[in-house]
Structure formats: C-alpha cells, structure tokens
C-alpha cells in the first residue's frame, strides 16, 4: 500500500512554498535592518559622560608592554571637564609642586565603521600651562579616548615610546 497525494495538491506546493518564502525573506531583512539601526544607536556616547573629575589609576609602558598602578602616586594626575567645553589638568610628579594646565576640549563621535571599544574621542587644546601635556611633539594638544568600560585613556605619547595613562571618573 502506498501513500496517495492528489495531483492538485502537488501542483500547488511550489506556489505555497514560494508565497511563504518571499514574505519570510522580507520579514528577515526587515528584522535585520531594524537590529542594525538599534545597535547603531549611540546613546552611550552622551557628551555629559565626560563632565567631572578623572583621576589617574594606571600607567602603561609601551616598551615593556606592562601596565601598573605602582607609580600612580608619584605621577599623580587629574582631568576635570566642565560642561562649558573647558578643562583643567593637574599633575604632581617626582615630588614637584602641583602643576596646572587649562584649555578647551572638543568631543568627537567614534565613526560607526570603527570596530573598537572607544565611546568618544576627546581632543584637548591647552591655552595655559602646556608644559604638562603628554604627547609626541604637539605642545598644546592631547588626544584622549573615553572607552565603553568608562575609562579615559591618554595614549598620546605612546607612539614615541612615552607612557600611556588610564583614568577613572572620581
């Protein structure tokens, strides 16, 4: 005994399958596009997240590829960012007196095509006290990166083997 399927049903199967396949493809594509737009929403890049006081918690040494918090007290640094676009940097290193620098900052969104843990770029331009900048040859600028782990990194001097500094909000 065999299984009997009428010809009229067999003729409609490709049409039924095709009709359900096309809406499924559309639904899948619509879902995929929605997910992409939702995941590209950059609400975590709130410019106010930079406002406040940031203290040095770790120093990175590119020559040895080592990070340490051991010398933080001897190289104490802070940044304080204000909502009006200005900042203040303070530093005490090797027993020196407190040094202060001030200037303006500009926030730059991280392009969507860059795959990294960077949330915001913070570009500093020093107006006074630029003797305490940390960079490679630009005496009045520093480039910082605010990461999704809420750490602020100043690796401006690492291309010329200078230390990198990691800050956390106080």
Mean local confidence (pLDDT), 146-165: 90
- C-alpha to C-alpha distance for 119 and 117, rounded to whole angstroms: 6
Tell me the C-alpha to C-alpha distance, in Å, between residue 25 and each of 16, 21, 31, 151: 14, 6, 10, 42
- C-alpha to C-alpha distance for 11 and 13, rounded to whole angstroms: 6
Provide the token pair at 55.
């203290």
Q: Are 119 and 146 in contact (CB under 8 A)?
A: yes
- C-alpha to C-alpha distance for 154 and 75, rounded to whole angstroms: 14
Element (H or E) spanning 146, and its range?
strand 141-147
Q: Are 121 and 107 in contact (CB under 8 A)?
A: yes
Examine the pLDDT at 20 and tell me if it is beyond 70: no
- Reported residue count of the chain is 170
Percentage of the chain modeled with pLDDT above 70: 71
Angle 107-112-114 from CA coordinates, rounded to 5°: 90
Residues near 106 by beta carbon (within 8 Å), at least 6 away in sequence: 85, 122, 123, 125
Element (H or E) spanning 14, and its range?
helix 7-39
Does this model's pTM top 0.85? My answer is no
Mean local confidence (pLDDT), 139-160: 91
Per-residue pLDDT tens digits for 156-168:
888 888 889 999 9
Q: Label residue 21 by pLDDT band (50, 70, 90).
A: low
Percentage of the chain modeled with pLDDT above 90: 38
Per-residue pLDDT tens digits for 97-136:
889 999 999 999 998 888 789 999 999 999 998 678 888 8
45 or 96: whose pLDDT is higher? 96
The rounded mean pLDDT for the chain is 78
Q: Facing residues of 142 across strands? A: 124
Examine the pLDDT at 80 and tell me if it is beyond 80: yes
Mean local confidence (pLDDT), 48-76: 86
């Amino acid at each position: 005994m065999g299984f009997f399927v009428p010809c009229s049903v067999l003729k409609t199967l490709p049409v039924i399958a095709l009709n359900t396949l096309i809406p499924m493809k559309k639904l899948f594509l619509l879902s995929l596009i929605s997910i992409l737009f939702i995941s590209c929403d950059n609400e975590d890049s709130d410019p106010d997240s930079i406002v406040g006081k940031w203290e040095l918690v770790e120093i990175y040494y590119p020559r040895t590829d080592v990070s340490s918090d051991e010398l933080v007290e001897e190289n104490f640094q802070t940044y304080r960012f204000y909502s009006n676009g200005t900042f203040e940097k303070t530093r005490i290193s090797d027993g020196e007196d407190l040094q202060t620098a001030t200037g303006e900052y500009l926030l730059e969104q991280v392009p969507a095509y860059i795959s990294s843990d960077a949330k915001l770029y913070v570009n500093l331009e020093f107006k006074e006290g630029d003797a305490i900048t940390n960079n490679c040859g630009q005496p009045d600028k520093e480039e910082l990166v605010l990461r999704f782990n809420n750490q602020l990194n100043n690796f401006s001097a690492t291309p010329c083997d200078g230390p990198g500094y990691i800050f956390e909000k106080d």
